[in-house]
Amino acid sequence: MNSLTIGDKIVFLIYFLIVAFYGYWVYKRKHNADATSKDYFLAEGSLTWWAIGASLIASNISAEQFIGTSGSAFKMGLAISTYEWMAAATLIVVAIFFIPIYLRNKIFTMPQFLHERYNGTVAMVMAIFWLLLYIVVNLMSILYLGALAISGIAGINIYVCIIGLAVFAVIITLGGMKVIGYTDVIQVFVLVLGGLVATYLALNLISEKSGTTGMWTGLNIMRAEASDHFHMIFDKSNPNYMDMPGLSVLIGGMIIVNLNYWGCNQYITQRALGANLKTARGGILFAAFLKLLMPIIVVIPGIAVYLLYQKGMFHQEMLSSSGVNDPNKAYPSLLNLLPNGLKGLSFAALTAAIVASLAGKANSIATIFTLDIYKKAINPAATDKKLVTLGKISVAVAMGLGVIMSLLIGEQLMGEGKQGFQYIQEYTGFVSPGIFAMFILGFFWKKATPNAALFATIGGFIFSVIFKFLPQIANLAFMAPYGFSKDNGKGVYEIPFIDRMGFVFILCVIGMYFISMADQRRGVKVNGWRLRHQCLKHRVHLLQVRL
């Protein structure tokens, strides 16, 4: 039944009021009329390690996880968990190597790092890149997928859901990073609790459908009867190989996806940039622990829906309106089977995940626009008060653009039959290899030059576009025997997008090396020694520090 009962609505209302009043209390208690822009955008020195860790997870776990990842689990199974478990390992790397570099050099935004390491041109180009990426890919996808789920559960018009989610997120975001950080603690508690409830009941449904009872029994039945959905590494004969190409999910492009997302992404690192090293590191490691639990919440339900569908518990129209199963409807279909009250709790968890992610993304957009574009290029003399006001306006404008795009093209890009999570990963992957190459050489190679960084930024995007559309121009079947291409089912041999990211990253690193060497011969100056020197000192210091 695609509607909420009175009990469900009461549970959701309780969640909404708790978040609203707690957020208001945090704002009134911690708000300072003379607060600086860094205090507003970064909550400088105000967030505890547990608030940082919870906020990282709340911002990361959103519609693309609950809806997109569950949908991918419905289609391909446990293999999609690679994103979550690799993220946990990546966060440890970020805590040890990346965050200390940022904090020791008093870096507050990613474009600021690029400005100090390379030059203002590189920083400005990347600031614009990030704004476009956050609005065009992230805000739009979170709004559309989130609204699709809420509409499917509550029976509310999807356009009303998009606007409602945007308004809720804007209200939270206007309170600044302190309000976002501390309300995210509640959001994480609700999303974990609601997610675990949905998983528990899904496994119980499987056992009951087989004439037994118990969650563990349901899990064993699922493993036995949906064994094809419990493979972690696909071979080339698997129809899902294009999305998860073999060992590349462990040693190839997946590493680039995670290191770029968790270590070079304003949206994520912003939570830790206002803290001291011990607090920031503790928060990141706490987030790594929570990340290990996420497949239980977002992957197991998707596999459960697949098995329940095979057993006839889901009618075709629950997953499709056109005859093609829509993975994005797997999780909402499961929630519609939950009993009164528990459905409201899981619905609140889903809403919490969506709103927290939207708020974090909007705050990052406002931070980059205000501190890295407006203050650097338009009005260097702007006061902190003006910057905070402009930041609030930026939040509303960015969310408005996200709403418009989700209304206009959301269905075309992530509609029926498409995997929303894979859409986000693929199109983010158009820029992430070049960005990561620019950051990693900037960290650890003092000779990397601004021209080389620009090449990685712009050239990486061009390489990604070429690799994406090359199969439509040239036949790549000759690469198939070597595992670099595969028939996509339409007679066209494509390069899996995760492999494509790996190839682009290698090309960017090679290009940066030769351009930097040429610049050195021409006497081009670089700004990397200070960062490099402190990085080396820190790596020595790490040997004396116990995590």
Q: List the beta bridge partners of residue 43.
A: none
Mean pLDDT on 119-148: 87
User: What amino acid occupies position 44?
Assistant: E
The answer to whether residue 401 is domain-embedded is yes
153 with 197, same domain? yes
Point out the domain boundary residue: 410, 442, 461: 410
Is residue 7 scored above 80 in pLDDT?
yes
323 with 210, same domain? yes
Q: How confident is the model at residue 51 (pLDDT cuts 50, 70, 90)?
A: confident
Least confident segment among 173-177, 269-273, 410-414, 532-536:
532-536
How many C-beta neighbours within 10 Å does residue 534 have? 15
Instruction: Give the total number of structural domains in the chain.
Output: 2
Is residue 27 scored above 70 in pLDDT?
yes
Closest CA to 367 of 133, 40, 141: 40
As a whole number of angstroms, the distance between CA 288 and CA 433 comes to 23
Token pair recorded at residue 87 = 């993220």
349 with 248, same domain? yes
pLDDT > 90: percent of the chain: 24
Q: What pLDDT is recorded for position 58? A: 77
Mean pLDDT on 480-506: 74
User: What amino acid occupies position 278?
Assistant: K
Q: Please write the tens of the pLDDT for every residue from 78-93.
A: 998 998 899 999 999 9
Least confident segment among 199-203, 241-245, 438-442, 524-528:
524-528
Residue 299's H or E segment, with its range, is none
358 with 440, same domain? no
Greatest alpha-carbon span in the chain: 77
Is residue 434 scored above 50 in pLDDT?
yes
Is residue 345 scored above 90 in pLDDT?
no
What's the CATH number where 11 sits?
1.20.1730.10
The answer to whether residue 26 is domain-embedded is no
Token pair recorded at residue 368 = 């980059």
338 with 270, same domain? yes
Q: What pLDDT is recorded for position 44? A: 61
Residue 535's H or E segment, with its range, is helix 528-542
More confident residue, 240 or 64: 240
Q: How far is CA 128 from CA 11, 40, 306, 364, 400, in A?
A: 41, 22, 41, 13, 18
**Contact of 190 with 352, CB cutoff 8 Å:** yes
The answer to whether residue 492 is domain-embedded is yes
366 with 454, same domain? no
Q: What pLDDT is recorded for position 497? A: 83
Mean pLDDT on 267-290: 86
Point out the domain boundary residue: 380, 410, 440: 410
Q: What pLDDT is recorded for position 479? A: 61
Q: How confident is the model at residue 437 (pLDDT cuts 50, 70, 90)?
A: very high
58 with 193, same domain? yes
Q: Is 35 helix (H, G, I), strand (E, B) or coil?
A: coil
The answer to whether residue 1 is domain-embedded is no
The answer to whether residue 415 is domain-embedded is no
As a whole number of angstroms, the distance between CA 195 and CA 349 comes to 7
* pTM for the whole structure: 0.81
Q: What pLDDT is recorded for position 151? A: 84
More confident residue, 407 or 474: 407
Q: CA torsion angle for 182, 375, 170, 127 (degrees, to 10)?
A: -90
More confident residue, 303 or 187: 303
Q: Please write the tens of the pLDDT for every residue from 445-491.
A: 989 999 999 999 999 999 998 888 777 666 666 565 555 666 666 66
The answer to whether residue 416 is domain-embedded is no
Range(s) of the domain holding residue 17: 6-21+38-410
Considering 15-19, 42-46, 530-534, the range whose residues carry the highest mean pLDDT is: 15-19
439 with 385, same domain? no
As a whole number of angstroms, the distance between CA 364 and CA 422 comes to 23
Q: How confident is the model at residue 536 (pLDDT cuts 50, 70, 90)?
A: very low
Report the chain's C-alpha Rg in angstroms.
23
Q: How far is CA 133 from CA 137, 356, 546, in A?
A: 5, 18, 37
More confident residue, 312 or 284: 284
Q: What pLDDT is recorded for position 531? A: 46
Positive/negative CA dihedral, 493, 499, 500, 506: negative
Point out the domain boundary residue: 376, 410, 444: 410
Q: What pLDDT is recorded for position 547? A: 43
Q: What pLDDT is recorded for position 319? A: 60
Is residue 275 scored above 60 in pLDDT?
yes
491 with 358, same domain? no
How many C-beta neighbours within 10 Å does residue 447 have? 17
**Contact of 376 with 369, CB cutoff 8 Å:** no
236 with 312, same domain? yes
**Contact of 484 with 505, CB cutoff 8 Å:** no
The answer to whether residue 423 is domain-embedded is no
Q: What is the mean pLDDT of the chain?
A: 82
Closest CA to 277 of 440, 439, 106, 114: 106
**Contact of 141 with 420, CB cutoff 8 Å:** yes
pLDDT > 70: percent of the chain: 85
Q: What pLDDT is recorded for position 134? A: 87
The answer to whether residue 330 is domain-embedded is yes
